Amino acid sequence: MKFIDEYRDNEKARLLLQEIYQQAKQPVRLMEVCGTHTVAIARFGLRKLLPQNIELVSGPGCPVCVTSQRDLDKAIAMAQLPRTIIATFGDMMRVPGSNSTLTEERATGRKVRVVYSPLDALQAAQENLDHKVIFLGVGFETTAPTVAATLLAARQKDIKNFEVLSLHKTIPYALKSLLNLGEIKLNGFLLPGHVSTIIGSQPYEFLAREYGLACVISGFEPVDILQSILLLLRQINMGQPQVEIQYRRGVRPEGNGQAQKIMRQVFEPADVEWRGLGFIPETGLKLRQEWAEFDAALKNNINLPEVAENTACRCGHVLRGVLRPTACPLFAKECNPQKPRGPCMVSSEGSCGAAFKYELSGAIK
């Protein structure tokens, strides 16, 4: 497949690894902030192929993992409303709220439907006029424009039974917040390729300028990731932190202007809660006033009791990069993919899920 296979080529990978071994002169710690990077690194076994003094930690880049328990409970409460269909990406189906999941709600007869695109949810609204369809808007800046565009289409088609519960979040300020916690010392970031497709490279400049961190915007194939690590090492070795684009076939420095415009038309920044990171100002997206008729949060009166988060779950620490999944006391014991205690384990996108699925292999070799 074009633009995919060339970047999985193991000859190129081998060459890059050789060069990485040459350049890895000192211990470095790099954070990747994208669930898809977490999965790719685990799936291609890259950690084991890299030299020992390169440490890759996962950050809060899995939008499912950082959805707060309270937000999940809201979605579950909406599933329980009469004549309501919840449409969601597959990723959300097994994430635990305080005492249920969307999968379990479906098992009790609630209408929960997995869709591949928010447009499929809109179509469901058109096909089920006696129901209300609430779409769970999850995802970062890659996905938010697709939901915004869907709402534009909804208005244009005059659809009255479609709503969006916006749980969208944005990356750059979240990284700033993470760094300000001062919990972890990093040398550089492997930045998310597809978020950057939308927002470009400029929003990350402060990471290099103010924090002196090496930054490379990376694609998702093994060759992309290895090349990005090499570029990061070069920046670190030369003491020249900057924001570089490795994923040049997918990211322009200015990003996708049309997508940014549509996103701004529908959404505005909001202060939201990130699971494991607490409230971070201006890192969420909420529907603007003019789109209130589609705003599920405004239109449905959901009163939820205060529920304490599961204190044994260390997802917060994992998401902040200070705890490796395998070091969590619950990992592979009380917390595993069938009975996940926290979102990081729910499916292979979370750090713990990826570690369990792909790396729980001490017995190998």
Partner 1 sequence: MEQLLNMNYQAQLSKNHKEEKILLAHGSGGELSHQLVSTFFLNAFTNPYLDPLDDMAVLKVGENRLAFTTDSYVVTPIFFPGGDIGKLAVCGTINDLAMGGATPLFLSVGFIIEEGFPFADLEKIIASMKEISMATGVKIVTGDTKVVNKGGLDQIFINTSGVGLIPPGVEVSGRNAKVGDKVIISGSIGDHGISILSSRAGLQFTTTLKSDCAPLNDLVAKMLATSLEIHSLRDPTRGGIASALNELARQAEVGIWIEEELVPIKEEVRGACELLGLDPWHLANEGKLIAIVAAPVAEKILAQMRAHPLGKEARIIGEVRAEPKGKVVLRTNLGSTRIIDMLVGEALPRIC
Partner 2 sequence: MCVAIPAKIISIDGLVAEVEVGGVSRQVSLQLTPAAKKGDYVLVHAGFAINIVDETEAQETLKLFAELERLNSAANLD
Choice from 6, 210, 271, 334 touching partner 2 (CB under 8 A): 6
* Contacts of partner 2 in 110-129 (CB under 8 A): 116-120
Neighbours of 53 (CB within 10 A): 11
Which residues touch 122 (CB under 8 Å, ≥6 apart)?
133, 135, 150, 153, 154, 157, 159, 162
Smallest distance from the beta carbon of 210 to partner 1, in angstroms?
A: 29
Given the complex with partner 1, which of 113 and 234 has the nearer CB atom? 113
Among partner 2, partner 1, none, the one that 338 touches (CB under a kind-dependent 5 to 8 A) is: partner 1
Given the complex with partner 1, which of 154 and 214 has the nearer CB atom? 154
The site map against partner 2 for 336-355 (x = CB under 8 A) is -------------x------
DSSP letter (8 states) at residue 294: G
Choice from 30, 56, 58, 63 touching partner 2 (CB under 8 A): 63
Cα 141 to Cα 145: distance, rounded to the nearest angstrom: 7
In the block, tokens 């898809």 appear at 36
Residues forming the site for partner 1 (CB under 8 A)? 1, 4, 8, 10, 13, 35-36, 42-46, 48-49, 62-64, 89-91, 93-94, 103-104, 106-108, 113-116, 120, 124, 139, 143, 222, 337-338, 347, 349, 356-361, 363-365
Q: For residue 58, what are its two tokens? A: 């996962």
Burial 230-250 (b: 16+ CB within 10 A, else e): bbbbebbeeeebbbbbbbeeb
Q: For residue 78, what are its two tokens? A: 């909406």
Given the complex with partner 1, which of 208 and 226 has the nearer CB atom? 226
Cα 101 to Cα 107: distance, rounded to the nearest angstrom: 10
Given the complex with partner 2, which of 166 and 197 has the nearer CB atom? 197
Cα 192 to Cα 61: distance, rounded to the nearest angstrom: 8
Cα 339 to Cα 335: distance, rounded to the nearest angstrom: 6
How far is Cα of residue 175 from the mean position of the Cα atoms in its chain? 13
Site size toward partner 2, by CB under 8 A: 51
**Strands 278-287 and 267-274, bridge-based pairing:** antiparallel
Choice from 88, 187, 256, 283 touching partner 2 (CB under 8 A): 256
Among partner 2, partner 1, none, the one that 192 touches (CB under a kind-dependent 5 to 8 A) is: partner 2
Binding residues for partner 2 (CB under 8 A): 1-4, 6, 12, 15-16, 18-19, 34-36, 61-63, 89, 116-120, 139-140, 142-143, 145-146, 149, 152-153, 192-195, 197-198, 220, 223, 227, 246, 248-252, 256, 258-259, 262, 349
